[in-house]
Amino acid sequence: MPDSDHSGASGKKPAQIHDGFFKDVFRVAEYVITLIRAGAPADLFEIIDWSTLSFEPQLIQASRQNEKIADLVFSVALKDSGSAARIVLLFEHKSYRDSELVRQIARNQFLMYLQDQFKSLIVPIVVRQVAAPQREPVRFSNLFSKLPRKHLRALCRYCVSFECLLIDVNEMDRKGLAEKTNIDVVIRAMSKVRDFEVGDLQDLLERIRYVPADDRKRMFDLVFGYVCDYNAHITADEILNLKTKTSEERQMVLSAIDTFRGEGRAEGLQEGRREIAASLLQKGMVPEEVVEVTNLSSEQVETIQKKINGVP
């Protein structure tokens, strides 16, 4: 089911559904760490001091160009040296030609280096949710692949190396790379959402058990809200008929019904977004940029700004 022809049950655009879910899940450090452990080369994972990973929402906008250059940005220190690095996550849920993807990655990386004034190493990671196969890794020199090989060998050594790691959600699900981890349910939901069947709801309920207990309800609301927003054919009765094994699962299902009906739309999640928005506004980010970063509405951000300014 192509996204361009799809309208979610919530009335949201497909891009809003996909992007909102990705940002809500992976702005939490524990889930980012699992994603990179499962999808990145071991030598990259092992040199990073993951205890220093910190979400940096203010770095998502390129201040000079006033445009978004990433979906999520984290600061981190490297082991032994303590040198600073940035982990930049870009989320792609549409199919692009190779050349378009390479141009997007190269441009975004360059803007990020300019913003950071080349003080930190940048680890660019594209998380893909599309069925089309893609070469790994992506390199800037791919743009010139039609040149004769001898020309490539002679000239591409002088190209800026905008190489980028690709993490393919569908491949992760196919190979079970996230199996029995805290993102098991997330990867399955993202992989199946476009061709979702009602029976997959039970599968998601089974996989939620690997999420830490203190975050299980929030994640359940996120995952079920995501698949229900995208798939108009899912009904409240089908959610209610899920087979539960524990009282916790039963409570989560009832919560999902509230979310489905729009009666309890993850207030804890909204509160987290509001806190991030307030922090960004206090640091001087303009409201339009805060809307882009947090997925809050312009009215919500305006209300937060008034509260900061002491306006009743």
Quote the pTM value: 0.79
Per-residue pLDDT tens over the stretch 40-80: 999 999 999 999 999 988 777 665 556 677 889 999 999 99
Number of Cβ within 10 Å of residue 240's Cβ equals 12
In the predicted model, is pLDDT for residue 7 greater than 60? no
Q: How confident is the model at residue 37 (pLDDT cuts 50, 70, 90)?
A: very high
Angle between helices 199-207 and 247-261 (to 10 degrees): 130
Q: Which residue has the higher pLDDT, 73 or 143?
A: 73
Write the DSSP assignment of 240-279 as a string of letters: HT---SSHHHHHHHHHHHHHHHTSS--HHHHHHHHHHHHH
Non-local CB neighbours of 113 within 8 Å, separated by 6+ positions: 122
